[in-house]
Structure 1
Amino acid sequence: MSNIKLIIEERAANIGNFFVGRLLPFREKRTVGPFAFIDHMGPAHLKEYQNLDVPPHPHIGLSTLTYLFEGSIMHKDSLGTEVEIKPGAVNWMTAGNGIVHSERTPLYLRTSDKVLHGLQIWVALPKDLEQMEPSFSHVEEQDIPHWTENNLSFKLVAGEAFGRKSPVPVYSPMYFIEIKSKTSQKVALGEHLFGESALYILEGNIKSDGTVFESKQILIAKDSKLCEFEIGENTTIYIFGGEAFPEERIIFWNFVATSKELIEDAKTRWEHQTFPKVPGETEFVPLPAPVKF
């Protein structure tokens, strides 16, 4: 019997001057554990006159996880952080009661051809922490736990699994795991996983119960303890999930919250520009057209 509960395909979404492949949320599955949002960026081949420019925009109630495969993004936020995100590093920004940030192509790359490819992820905060003070953490690639086992290459990008713990400061039981294989082989991970679990195929394929699944798909497991499959040659996958929250999460634009009141308050604050500012930035992304709950 298949352990696959749901299959989600990437859907194109426009984030301003850049198209991404949206994976979560999905109408039949809004969250997986604490994971509330996943965008697959690229791979985008940008000319010397094309750049990523996402002006200052706000967040509440979540942590953002930016993980690049290729390219570079300059992150600036209202805490005064200014850091270049490079492949393999983890940018972990916790919005709490409100943070503002911008994402742009670094100055030194703006007049040359470039590639941008990675994942943008939102992890919802537990209800008792959704109004915490904002914070920021940047973890370099060499500090992410990585190991090889049974000809598989593992990285524990965030959370806890396999008796290991990532230095990324998460706020609830979760995991985000990278697995790469050059050869086709069977993989059994059930004993290492917990809560809700999903598998994203970045490149290559996997086979489960005789069915082959290709890249740009998320497979939602019925039971994380039954996570077994055959990974294909030259395949990269991501396993993510964790303990689900008891409360449903409301998502409006860049805001995640357990109540409509918190969403409405954030909308009002952004309309009146009372969120903290990003130093040196004067642009901002306007609030989308009003949506009534």
Structure 2
Amino acid sequence: MGPFALLIITPVTHDLGDFKVRRALPAKARTMVGPFIFVDQFGPARLPAGQGMDVRPHPHINLSTVTYLFDGAIQHRDSLGSDQVIRPGAINLMTAGTGIVHSERSPAAERADGPSFNGMQTWLALPDDKEEIAPAFEHVGPDALPIIEGDGVTARVLMGSLWGQTSAVTQHSPTIYADIILAAGASLPIDAETDERAVMLTEGAASLDGTPLELFSLYILAPGEALTLKADCPARAMLLGGAAFATPRHVWWNFVSSSRERIVQASDDWTARRFPVVPGDEEEWIPIPAVPKTVSYP
């Protein structure tokens, strides 16, 4: 462990046959980094011709989901009637609040040749006074997300303010999130203004203040320290974090809340089919498994 890291989390890898999902949060050693309470990296992968990813309709409460792709396309549908295909460089922010149901599938046009996909799926806990806000969906395209360029660096600010630029994506609590692409030998300072920060190397080889980073591990950084990310060869890394939460959050299956009772109620509501349906995707749903995991895949 380098002097810059409070904790290094090796993700749990779920091998789903055609692709792998690497889950860094939540972990036994750490539940959250800022509002981030769930961090998955999936792919790169290419499915066989005629197949696709099909995450059937499932519910969420008291959180926001953030989807960001490096490659491929995912069609998002939800119980608000949203129907949006996300492609690389864009953000899908879905705020569950009191409750929402959504599905994530490979678009029909992508299936003939076998869809490819690679990216990040994260959940943000909602702050105490916003856990039960109205559900909402927001799609922000690449052109609306600031890009910092220069000296072999391309960094896209996905959420919050970094390097003097601010993303237009809604923040329910102070959040930072960025996609950093570095040419060999290029470097970038890692801003230290927020309470909690973490870095995940997703491609190539890079170091923080001279200490090599393990691919896909989540490095939770010591607060307040100015650090430099440097690439040994072409590399990509995600920076994430934000304001620390004063109250703990519980995670059970697809539900996040400050209240265990609220999670029990949501579970009962889903079992009793009291959640709304997803227009255009009404036939299937994911039942609560006998032994719930943090999230379900098909």
Q: TM-score range by the shorter chain?
A: over 0.9
1:5 aligns with 2:34: no
Of 155-164 and 88-97, deviating more is: 155-164
* 2: CA distance, partners of 1:207 / 1:161: 20
Deviation of 1:92 (Å): 0.5
1:36 aligns with 2:45: no
* 2: CA distance, partners of 1:28 / 1:235: 27
How large is the Cα RMSD of the aligned pairs? 1.9
1:53 aligns with 2:54: yes
* 1: CA distance, partners of 2:288 / 2:152: 48
Matched residue count: 290
* Mapping of residues 233-248 of structure 1, within 5 Å: 233-248=233-248
Gap change, CA 1:276 and 1:222, over 3 Å in 2: same
1:201 is aligned to 201
The SS at the match of 2:160 is strand
* 1: CA distance, partners of 2:213 / 2:120: 20
**Residue type at the aligned position of 2:123:** W
Query: Could you report, residue by residue, the CA deviation over 1:135-179 in whole angstroms, capped at 9, with x for unpaired residues?
Result: 000001111111214432111011222232211111111100122
* Mapping of residues 1-293 of structure 1, within 5 Å: 2-13=3-14, 19-191=20-192, 193-208=193-208, 210-280=210-280, 281-289=282-290
Of 106-115 and 13-22, deviating more is: 13-22
Query: Could you report, residue by residue, the CA deviation over 1:21-63 in whole angstroms, capped at 9, with x for unpaired residues?
Result: 1111111011101000011111111111321011100001111
* 2: CA distance, partners of 1:96 / 1:246: 19
Is this contact kept in 1: 2:4–2:225, CA < 8 A? no
Is this contact kept in 2: 1:3–1:221, CA < 8 A? yes
Is this contact kept in 1: 2:183–2:231, CA < 8 A? no
The SS at the match of 2:273 is coil
* 2: CA distance, partners of 1:104 / 1:136: 17
Query: Could you report, residue by residue, the CA deviation over 1:199-228 in whole angstroms, capped at 9, with x for unpaired residues?
Result: 010112222454322321211112243333
Deviation of 1:256 (Å): 0.5
* 2: CA distance, partners of 1:259 / 1:18: 34
Gap change, CA 1:267 and 1:15, over 3 Å in 2: farther
* 1: CA distance, partners of 2:185 / 2:18: 38
**Residue type at the aligned position of 2:121:** Q
Deviation of 1:233 (Å): 2.3
Is this contact kept in 1: 2:79–2:100, CA < 8 A? yes
Task: Give the gaps of 5 or more residues in structure 1.
Answer: none
**Residue type at the aligned position of 1:182:** A
Deviation of 1:16 (Å): 10
Task: Give the gaps of 5 or more residues in structure 2.
Answer: 293-298
Is this contact kept in 1: 2:73–2:87, CA < 8 A? yes
Of 157-166 and 67-76, deviating more is: 157-166
Is this contact kept in 2: 1:194–1:225, CA < 8 A? no
Between the aligned residues of both structures, percent identity stands at 39
* 1: CA distance, partners of 2:140 / 2:220: 28
TM-score relative to the length of structure 2: 0.92
Is this contact kept in 1: 2:209–2:227, CA < 8 A? no
Of 13-22 and 154-163, deviating more is: 13-22
TM-score relative to the length of structure 1: 0.93
The SS at the match of 1:214 is coil
